[in-house]
Homo-oligomer: A and B are copies of this chain.
Amino acid sequence: MLEELKKLVCTENKALPKNGLVLWTSGNVSARDPETGFVVIKPSGIHFEDLTPEKMIVVDLDGAVIDGELKPSVDTESHLYVYRECPDVFGITHTHSPYATAFSIIGEALPIYTTTSAAVFGNAIPISEIAAVGEKAIGAEITRCYQETRCPAILLKNHGIFTVGKSATSSLKAAVILEETAQSVYFARTMNPTIQPLNQEYVTEVYDFYQNHYGQ
């Protein structure tokens, strides 16, 4: 079942190490099927190079395994929490990408310093509160931050990052651009700690412009 979505989710999970966002088996991409409402996610603790579409797990919104022989990602409950609470979200990516995670450790929102991050995020990337142990607490923090800011990327305090989108690919793109922007901002800030972000009016203008012009 959901063969096309399994194939896509598998491809986007494999794109995580290809884009330098994950090591070992950390990190995952999931997608929600608009028709059935089921969620496709990667299995737990499997190396990315060993993933195949057949190994993807299909779960319902309560976490019951609908299809697949392996145990789903340990982060499944976090993803499901967000899908249940945010009906506009159809793809989620979670990583510990190193530069963005550094911002999650210092516990500061990441302001917008470049036109690319303005175009993709539209406003400063929010930092969550530290989540209580357990997947539901993480899901609740992500949901709260997303609903308050509508920013597709969230820095999860002392943990890593979550990005959401209208598809698995869209959330993956946000995760890639987030790490890229975190990297450049890190370099800039360690050369000059007093740099000022772009003003919000300019950020909004860039965001509106690119949302209407990019891609095929």
**Number of contacting residues on A, CB 8 A?**
59
A105 touches B159 (CB 8 A): no
Pick the residue among B159, B160, B180, B210 that contacts A74 (CB under 8 A): B210
Q: Are B45 and A106 in contact (CB under 8 A)?
A: no
Find out whether the CB atom of B106 lies under 8 angstroms from the CB atom of A195.
yes
A105 to B192, CA, bound (A): 10
Q: A84 at interface (Cβ–Cβ under 8 A)?
A: no
Q: Is the CB of B114 within 8 A of A173?
A: no
Partner of A187, one of B98, B133, B206: B98
A residues at B contact (CB < 8 Å):
19-20, 23-24, 26, 43-46, 70-71, 74, 96, 98-99, 101-107, 113-116, 130, 133-134, 158-160, 173, 176-177, 179-180, 183-193, 195, 198, 202, 205-206, 209-210, 213-216
